[in-house]
Amino acid sequence: MTNAIPLRNLPSHGSTNDKIYPRRFQGVFRRLRIAGGSFLFLLFFGTAWLGWNGRQAVLWDLSGKQFHIFGSTFWPQDLVLLSAILIICAFGLFFLTVAAGRVWCGYSCPQSVWMWLFLWVERVTEGDRNRRRKLDQAPLSRSKLARRAAKHSLWLAISLITAITFVGYFTPIRALVADLATLQAGGWAAFWVFFFTAATYLNAGWLREKVCVHMCPYGRFQSTMLDRDSLVISYDAARGEPRGHRKTGTSESAEGLGDCIDCQMCVQVCPTGIDIRDGLQMECIGCAACIDACDSIMEKIGAPTGLVRYTSERELSGGKLRVLRPRLLGYGGLLAVFIGVLVWAIASRPLVDLDVTRDRGLYRFNAAGEIENSYTLRILNKAQHPRLFDVWVSGVEGLRLLGGTRISAGAGERVEVPVSVSVPAAAMENPITDIKFHLQAADSDAESAEDITRFIGAAR
C-alpha cells in the first residue's frame, strides 16, 4: 500500500495551448523568492569571475581533464566523487519533496528562476496582464513594435550573458569574453555560447511553464514521494466553500457562503494557469503565488489569511500536522550519511596517482647478468604545489629499481618517467611474476600510491 497523494491532471483555465498572462502580485512568498533568486543569480554570475590562487576559482577544464574548485583539483580518477555528489543531490531532492512538495521548483530551479526574470522583463516592457493581452490582440503599430523589440532585446541580452557565464565555467571566462569581444573566439566556444543563448531564450521566454508541465520528469514522479504529511500548497475547501461573490454590505455568513469570494486572483497569478481550488495538480510548481494573491484578498475583505496556504493533507482533513515522521527522518538520515561519506572521501583522497605500464618487448640481460624489464611511470601530482616522490619496487627477492628513485612533479602536473627494474636471474622462479611499484610523497607519509604490473624473464 502506498501513501502517495494522487495528483489531478485537470484542464486549466484555457487549454494548455492558450497563452498564459500571469498577473502581477505582491506578498511574503514573492519577496522570499526574489531574495532566493537574487542570491542564486549572484552565485551563478559572480562565481565565474572569482579568482583563487592565480586561477579561476571554479573551472571545469575539459581539455586539461581537471575540475578546479576553490583551490582543490579533481581529476577523472575522482569521478566516483561526482557520482556521490549526484546521489546526494537526488536524496536532497527526495528529502525536500517529502518535506515540502515542489519547493525546489518554486524557489530554486533555474527554469523557474529565469522564467520569473523573463516575466518581469515582459511586464516592464509590455505592461501587466490586461495590457499584454490587449497588445497581443492589437494590430502591428510603431508602439507595439517598439515594446516587442525592447522585450526581445532584453531577453536576448540576458540569455547571452547567461550563456557566456555558463560556458565560462568550462573555459576561462576572462579569455572567453575578450575573444568574443574581438571576434576571435574558437568555433566550439562560439557554438556553445550560441547554443545556450538560444536554449535560455526559448526555455525562459517562450516555453516557460511548458518545460515544467510537459518536459520535466520530476513533476511526473513527485506524487509517488508526497505523503499525507507533506507540506503542499492547498486550498482550504472546508473554509472557502461554498464560494461566491458577496453583495456589498453583507457578510458571508448572512449569505451562507465560505471565505472564497471567487475573485479568480489565485488563478490569474498562476504561472502555469491552474486553479489551486481544484486540488493538488501535477502542473503546480509550488511557487506560492496563489498564497500571496489570496492572502492579499483576505486582508482586503477582513478575513483571516491562509485560505490558500502551505499545509498537509492530514491537517486539511482535520488531523494534526506532523513534520517529523519516519519517511522524512529516513531520507534525512541517509542524506546525512552520504554527505558525511563524501566529506570523508574528499578529505582523505590521496593527492597522488600512479599508473605503471610495462614497455613492449621481452626482457634483456644487463652487464651484471641480471634480467631487466622497462616500464613507464605516469605520476599525477594532484596537489597545488610542486612535490618530490620516492619510488621503489617489491615482489621478487633482489628486485632493484635502476637509476634515480626520487621524482619531482609540479603543481597539478602529470609526469611520465621511463625506468628499468632488474632481478638476479637465479631469483626468477616463474617466467612471469607480479611486481608492485610504490610511490610515496616525500612531504607526507599519508600520501602514497601503488600499482601492480608484470615482470618477465627466465634464467639462461
3-state secondary structure of 113: helix
Out of 204, 285, 409, 419, the only residue in the binding site for ligand SF4 (CB under 6 A) is 285
Contacts of ligand SF4 in 202-261 (CB under 6 A): 233, 235, 240, 260-261
Write down how long the chain is.
Answer: 460
Parallel, antiparallel or unpaired: strands 406-409 and 364-365: unpaired
By CB under 6 A, residue 61 contacts ligand SF4? no
Out of 99, 154, 225, 276, the only residue in the binding site for ligand SF4 (CB under 6 A) is 276
Cα–Cα distance for residue pair 441/456, rounded to 1 Å:
28
Nearest to 295 by CA among 100, 31, 27: 27
By CB under 6 A, residue 307 contacts ligand SF4? yes
Grid coordinates of 30: 514573492
Q: By C-beta, is 267 or 423 nearer to ligand SF4? A: 267
Q: How far is the CB of 27 from ligand SF4 (least distance, A)?
A: 11
Grid coordinates of 278: 481544484
By CB under 6 A, residue 274 contacts ligand SF4? yes
| Residue 138 CB burial class (10 angstroms; 0-12, 13-18, ≥19) | exposed
- Answer whether 22's CB lies under 8 Å from 129's CB: yes
Nearest to 236 by CA among 311, 320, 298: 311
Q: By C-beta, is 270 or 379 nearer to ligand SF4? A: 270
Q: How far is the CB of 12 from ligand SF4 (least distance, A)?
A: 9
Name the one residue in this structure whose C-alpha cell is 614497455.
Answer: 359
Number of residues that bind ligand SF4 (CB under 6 A): 29
- Answer whether 292's CB lies under 8 Å from 25's CB: yes
In the chain, count of helices (H) and strands (E)?
16, 16
Among the residue ranges 113-121, 274-282, 310-318, 410-418, the one whose residues contact ligand SF4 (CB under 6 A): 274-282
Cα–Cα distance for residue pair 191/205, rounded to 1 Å:
21
Q: By C-beta, is 176 or 284 nearer to ligand SF4? A: 284
Q: By C-beta, is 94 or 235 nearer to ligand SF4? A: 235
Out of 109, 226, 270, 409, the only residue in the binding site for ligand SF4 (CB under 6 A) is 270
Contacts of ligand SF4 in 286-305 (CB under 6 A): 286-290, 293-294, 297
Q: By C-beta, is 297 or 351 nearer to ligand SF4? A: 297
Give, in degrees to the nearest 5, the angle at Cα 19 between 13 and 21.
Answer: 80
By CB under 6 A, residue 266 contacts ligand SF4? yes
Q: How far is the CB of 229 from ligand SF4 (least distance, A)?
A: 19
Q: By C-beta, is 269 or 421 nearer to ligand SF4? A: 269
Among the residue ranges 4-12, 263-271, 427-435, 446-454, the one whose residues contact ligand SF4 (CB under 6 A): 263-271
Out of 16, 72, 223, 264, the only residue in the binding site for ligand SF4 (CB under 6 A) is 264
Cα–Cα distance for residue pair 382/240, rounded to 1 Å:
63
Q: By C-beta, is 211 or 270 nearer to ligand SF4? A: 270
Give, in degrees to the nearest 5, the angle at Cα 36 between 34 and 40.
Answer: 110
Among the residue ranges 88-96, 148-156, 267-275, 345-353, the one whose residues contact ligand SF4 (CB under 6 A): 267-275
Among the residue ranges 77-85, 121-129, 245-253, 266-274, the one whose residues contact ligand SF4 (CB under 6 A): 266-274
At residue 254, φ and ψ (nearest 5 deg) are: -65, -30
Name the one residue in this structure whose C-alpha cell is 621511463.
Answer: 418
Region class of 219: left (phi > 0), else alpha (psi between -120 and 50), else beta:
alpha
By CB under 6 A, residue 20 contacts ligand SF4? no
Which residues would be at the binding site for ligand SF4 (CB under 6 A)?
233, 235, 240, 260-266, 269-272, 274, 276-277, 284-290, 293-294, 297, 307-308
